[in-house]
Structure 1
Amino acid sequence: MGSRASEQDWLLEKALTAHSGKKLKRAIHAYKKALKKGPNVTASNGLAIALRELGLFKEALSVIETGISHEPQHPVLLNTYGTILISLKRKNEAISKFQAATKGAPECPEAWANLGLGFNILDMRLEAKNAFLKALALDPRCVRLNYELGKTLYCLGENVAAEKYFSVYLKKKPNDASALNDLGNVIFAQRRFEDARNVYHQAVNAQADFVSALNNLGSTCRRLADIDGAIDAYNAALNIDPEHAEVRCNRALTLLLAGYFEEGFAEYDWRWKTQKIKPLVNSNHPKWRGERASGLRFLCISEQGIGDTLQFSRYLPFLAERGADITFCCQPSLVRLFKPAPYLKEVVSIKDKVPNHEVFSPLLDLPKYFPFSNGMNADHYHLPSPDAIALPGSNIKVGIVWAGNPEYTNDAERSIDLSLFSPLFRIKGISWYSLQVGKAKSDLKQYPDVFDLSTNFNDFLDTARAITGLDIVLSVDTAVAHLSASMAKPTWILLPDVSDWRWGLKDEKSCWYSSVRLFRQKIRDDWVTVVESVRRQLILFLKSKAP
């Protein structure tokens, strides 16, 4: 008996030595010979891990299940069992094994760490965070746990804490390009764009062919209005991966921001190959590419947001002039607004059955096929005029919108607190009307003198009717701003220091709408100065209207 045990020990030592030297086939052979001498936790566990590392997951599963049959509650085996189940994409089963392992060995940091990894795979971020914190408390010297915890905290939006853990990890691993890229992400999320740019540069220096870091560097440069830096970063990424759709799309947006519309819209075709933009309606018919349109049953499909639809619907009359019979498929809240348009044969909702057609085009493809000068300041282009709503009083009437859709990625950049408008509300001779919808309209409770027009809004036709009775619309960058501007209503738009591409970088005027005036932040996040500029211009507007 003793001889048999000593032989098994010798075989185990041989197997472990081969395993640690990455000689997996030799290790597997030794583990199997050791197991022939009798059940053994170390041999079963090692063999299962070696098979898993070779990608032989089913064989690994068979080995670990045999081992578990002899030691049903052994935490080491349960932990390895869980990792194999993860490899087999049996995620929920894996979690149960990791939980059993932590219950059997609550002081085992590896079990807690694997439990955290399992929770992350299931997008159970809070549970993952707690598991990683437990693992780190048990093994503070495990540097990698700081990185895994940092990634989890980033997913939870806990960016300050994530930065702390990434920084701890990077003190030990300063050239880990992936960690530097992740650190840049959490710093960017805190809107410290200059710092983020520096960190992304470090990531690229650590790994010159790191496309994701180059893409992030480009986007950060764009946010800092560093157009040349952005284009250089995107070009470097595309030299490595010319077919990278997200980089292509980001380069297109940068070109559009800089006013290179022809090049920008041509490259913007790549948006359909990203994961971020999906068609609102699918068509199995040929896509229009600028060929003859006369007599064609043409389906034009809205895409992305309401503002995009309102802005680029200006191209529909040009398409109609080419003889196309246009069915416009748009968001439900816009159907009644566009119904009376004489250049449209039919207007349907994206939720309706797709009507018969011969060709189709996404709306934002149209600018490529018409002279850009046609679309700029299209003063001849107006939405169908809705019936006006008479608003009482002789004061100048100003409508306001201070918040966009909170689900929009960059909403924090554009939406502001209604209280910032307080200096405007004190100007005599102006009556104030709210066009705001959504959760933000509850802010009006603090301002009883602002009349809420939105109580009767069912769609954008109702909003348009309200706008007809106003003298000015004052808005952050929202769909209402596009609606008002498309109606040729004087529209004053408040913008962050670097805005969405369609408003350009510097001008006070818009190349898309002649009735728009742009009020830009000169210092990031300084809305107070922007509102003060609006206040001065409103006073001048009042004086110009005085008898």
Structure 2
Amino acid sequence: MAELQQLVQHHAAGQLTDPLSAYRDLQDRGVQHPVLAFNLAQLEFAAGELERADHCLDQTLKMQSDLAVAWALRGTIKRRLGEIQAALECLQRALELDEHQFPAWLTLSVLFHDQGSYLEAIKASTRALDLQSDSAAAHANHSMILLALGQSSEAEHHARLSVQNDAELPEAFLNLGNALHAQERWDDAIQALQEAIRLRPLFAPALSSLGNALRAKDQLLEAEEMFRRSMEAEPSYFQAYSNLAITQRALGQLDQALDTALKALELAPDHADVHSNLGVICHERGEWGEAEAALRRSLELAPDHAESHFSLASILLQQGDYEQGWLEYEWRFTHNARHPIVREVSDRPRWLGPQQQSHVQQIVLLHEQGLGDSFQFIRFAPLLSAYAKSVVFTCPKPLMALFASSGLVDEVLPIDVDSEQLSRDAVWLPLMSLPAVLGLSESSFGEAIPYLPVDGERVKFWRKKLDSCCCLIALNWQGNPEHEKTTSRGRSIPLEAFAPLAMLPGVRFISLQKGYGSEQLATCSFKEQFVSCQDEIDAAWDFEDAAALMACSDLVISSDTSAAHLAGAVGARLWMPLKRVPEWRWGTGGSTSPWYPTATLFRQERDGDWSVPVQAMRQDLELEILAASERAS
């Protein structure tokens, strides 16, 4: 015992060159004492030897089961090992023994944060700050939790307080970087995270967060390297595996992404984010059952996990479960809280639906998300006339004239409408919430086709301009690249992929492509087969002109963009080449769509390979041209 006392004294005085080896040596010689076991546990933990530290704490608590600080440290280690329930039990035991146990409150706040229980986390973090208001670690944790609650400015404030209290604390710069990331200040975030890594080169969370910042800047390969460095620094750091899986998904490496996500799950089987990421990856692989199971498990662990609800909505809707799918789809607002997808009318209430408000003065439908979403969902607007004296739609300026002439609503106003232009008793509703509020089923989708008008005068104008040919095809091939970094990735098709269609006799093309992707026309191998008035078409940006040109064409071929929705809404004949696992509205298989009866869907068999759908279109088109030729003769 005297030898242990001497070792502890020398350790406290800083007189040991290698304290870890000294404590290990004493334990190996058979000395058993809670002080020895606990001090060794702290040293093993500091050295990153989590399993050995946990073993030492097990020995400590067998000898002194009421040592609150040991329970607190064990809770921290169990969390790092991914044993979430065990961590919670250890921390609760520590606080039962000593409610003023600062490390226990600190780790408990992190654990609740990791589980998505942010309100519980902020309570625990506040208790920690109450106990030590000048703690850099506590401010860093508070910053992390505030960030999870969407309070990025407050998170930055506490992160900077953490830096002020300890400019050598890597966690302070880690959370500062994450707070700056949330404000989309990518370069500032990267700088803060690099400082965290400078202070601690093998700091796995900082390496992983730096990977996230690089991924946000679309530097996917650099991000991948950071995640791998994080995994090397701490092989049990499951977040790095989960983040790498999402990056591999973004790179189109779905097999590798699945393997990595399963490794993350092995490390953290009780973590909601891990199950959520796995669900998203399985969805993109077309593994519907596995995806749904993973997302439902995520929601069992964290019932308010917005991303899991939103992802589950996509799976349910894609499989035709509209009753539950629409309800889950309401989570899109929480999921997109940092980038609101709808401009609410701030001084008017949201409409609660016909059961609670069966008749109101005015319902204001609000455009949300992309232009194609409004083309698709505006069909339901007339149903609201049963519940309101007037129905108003607010939308971006490019849509106003077309919707105003449709007769689907009583009035069309700009998306930034002044509330003084609305009835004092007006209520509002996001357009894409209409099916959920009214409980609409698939049978109501295609009833009103066509529901958007085509201007007859514009049709006459363009028919005079267009070349006479056997088969006139209107093409749209490219979506907005900014929308193709997540589930829309891979929806666009290179213009050159349509070359097999150009080889058929009598085929001419119209390009409906505007902006992104239109530059491909200048270099495609069949550019001479576009109509002679293409320059005039390129200069016509109104959707009314696009609708008229579709009406002038024998066929519209469009990737999954607003042009496809417009074609379906005006009743034009539409062929859609779709990626192997498309967006939810196009279902899981088949060549028809309940949304657009005039559409035929041509699906990829392999990710990124357009040859099969294009060849199928070529064969069908060739048969039609041959049949038309025989009829003419």
**1:289 lines up with 2:369 in the alignment:** no
What secondary structure is seen at the aligned counterpart in 2 of 1:296? strand
Displacement of 1:267? 2.0
Bigger shift: residues 135-144 or 297-306: 135-144
Displacement of 1:343? 3.8
Q: Is the CA contact 1:297–1:325 (under 8 Å) kept in the aligned structure 2?
A: yes
**Residue of structure 1 equivalent to 2:441:** 372
**1:420 lines up with 2:500 in the alignment:** no
For 1:152 and 1:323, how far apart are their aligned partners in 2? 47
Over 3 Å counting, the alpha-carbon distance change for 1:168 and 1:260 in structure 2 is: same
Query: 1:366-445 alignment to 2 at 5 Å?
Result: 366-368=434-436, 369-387=438-456, 388=459, 389-390=462-463, 391-408=466-483, 409-410=485-486, 411-445=488-522
Alignment RMSD: 4.0
For 2:443 and 2:274, how far apart are their aligned partners in 1? 38
**Residue of structure 2 equivalent to 1:66:** none
Consecutive unaligned residues of structure 1, counting only runs of 5 or more, are 1-9, 26-50, 62-84, 99-109
Over 3 Å counting, the alpha-carbon distance change for 1:540 and 1:466 in structure 2 is: same
Q: Is the CA contact 2:360–2:389 (under 8 Å) kept in the aligned structure 1?
A: yes
Displacement of 1:526? 0.4
Q: Is the CA contact 1:376–1:512 (under 8 Å) kept in the aligned structure 2?
A: yes
Q: Is the CA contact 2:159–2:173 (under 8 Å) kept in the aligned structure 1?
A: no
Q: Is the CA contact 1:300–1:326 (under 8 Å) kept in the aligned structure 2?
A: yes
Residue identity in the other structure for 2:215: Y
For 2:352 and 2:178, how far apart are their aligned partners in 1? 43
Residue identity in the other structure for 1:376: F
Over 3 Å counting, the alpha-carbon distance change for 1:91 and 1:458 in structure 2 is: farther
**Residue of structure 2 equivalent to 1:493:** 576
What secondary structure is seen at the aligned counterpart in 2 of 1:423? helix
Q: Is the CA contact 1:132–1:149 (under 8 Å) kept in the aligned structure 2?
A: yes
Displacement of 1:346? 0.8
**1:306 lines up with 2:374 in the alignment:** no
**Residue of structure 2 equivalent to 1:480:** 563
What secondary structure is seen at the aligned counterpart in 2 of 1:348? strand
For 2:190 and 2:592, how far apart are their aligned partners in 1? 48
Identity of aligned residues (%): 26
Residue of structure 2 aligned with 1:279, choices 331, 334, 342: 342
**1:242 lines up with 2:300 in the alignment:** no
Over 3 Å counting, the alpha-carbon distance change for 1:196 and 1:396 in structure 2 is: same
Displacement of 1:307? 0.9
For 1:476 and 1:59, how far apart are their aligned partners in 2? 50
Bigger shift: residues 281-290 or 138-147: 138-147
For 1:293 and 1:144, how far apart are their aligned partners in 2? 52
User: After superposition, what is the alpha-carbon deviation per residue over 1:490-525, rounded to whole angstroms, capped at 9, x for unaligned?
Assistant: 001111000000000111011111100001101111
**1:524 lines up with 2:607 in the alignment:** yes
Residue of structure 1 aligned with 2:381, choices 316, 319, 334: 316
What secondary structure is seen at the aligned counterpart in 1 of 2:13? helix
**Residue of structure 1 equivalent to 2:586:** 503
Q: Is the CA contact 2:591–2:601 (under 8 Å) kept in the aligned structure 1?
A: yes
Displacement of 1:151? 4.2
For 2:227 and 2:546, how far apart are their aligned partners in 1? 47
For 2:477 and 2:368, how far apart are their aligned partners in 1? 24
What secondary structure is seen at the aligned counterpart in 2 of 1:412? coil
Bigger shift: residues 137-146 or 453-462: 137-146
What secondary structure is seen at the aligned counterpart in 2 of 1:439? coil
Q: When the two structures are superposed, what TM-score results if normalisation uses the length of structure 2?
A: 0.67
Q: Is the CA contact 2:449–2:570 (under 8 Å) kept in the aligned structure 1?
A: no
Q: Is the CA contact 2:163–2:172 (under 8 Å) kept in the aligned structure 1?
A: no
Residue of structure 2 aligned with 1:538, choices 605, 608, 621: 621
Bigger shift: residues 249-258 or 421-430: 421-430
User: After superposition, what is the alpha-carbon deviation per residue over 1:105-135, rounded to whole angstroms, capped at 9, x for unaligned?
Assistant: xxxxx79998788666545655776897899
Consecutive unaligned residues of structure 2, counting only runs of 5 or more, are 1-9, 20-38, 47-68, 70-99, 101-128, 140-154
Q: Is the CA contact 2:507–2:529 (under 8 Å) kept in the aligned structure 1?
A: no
Q: Is the CA contact 1:436–1:454 (under 8 Å) kept in the aligned structure 2?
A: no
For 1:58 and 1:201, how far apart are their aligned partners in 2? 35
Over 3 Å counting, the alpha-carbon distance change for 1:307 and 1:15 in structure 2 is: farther
Displacement of 1:143? 6.6
**Residue of structure 2 equivalent to 1:361:** 429
Q: Is the CA contact 2:363–2:388 (under 8 Å) kept in the aligned structure 1?
A: no
User: After superposition, what is the alpha-carbon deviation per residue over 1:417-464, rounded to whole angstroms, capped at 9, x for unaligned?
Assistant: 212122222222111000000132122212243243643323322221
Displacement of 1:488? 0.8
**1:56 lines up with 2:126 in the alignment:** no
For 2:189 and 2:387, how far apart are their aligned partners in 1? 58
Q: Is the CA contact 1:378–1:513 (under 8 Å) kept in the aligned structure 2?
A: no
Over 3 Å counting, the alpha-carbon distance change for 1:263 and 1:92 in structure 2 is: closer
Displacement of 1:485? 0.8
**Residue of structure 1 equivalent to 2:596:** 513
Q: Is the CA contact 1:420–1:528 (under 8 Å) kept in the aligned structure 2?
A: yes
**Residue of structure 1 equivalent to 2:326:** 265
Q: When the two structures are superposed, what TM-score results if normalisation uses the length of structure 1?
A: 0.76
Q: Is the CA contact 1:312–1:364 (under 8 Å) kept in the aligned structure 2?
A: yes
Q: Is the CA contact 1:277–1:304 (under 8 Å) kept in the aligned structure 2?
A: no
Residue identity in the other structure for 1:425: A
**Residue of structure 2 equivalent to 1:33:** none
Over 3 Å counting, the alpha-carbon distance change for 1:466 and 1:111 in structure 2 is: same
What secondary structure is seen at the aligned counterpart in 2 of 1:266? helix
For 2:516 and 2:614, how far apart are their aligned partners in 1? 22
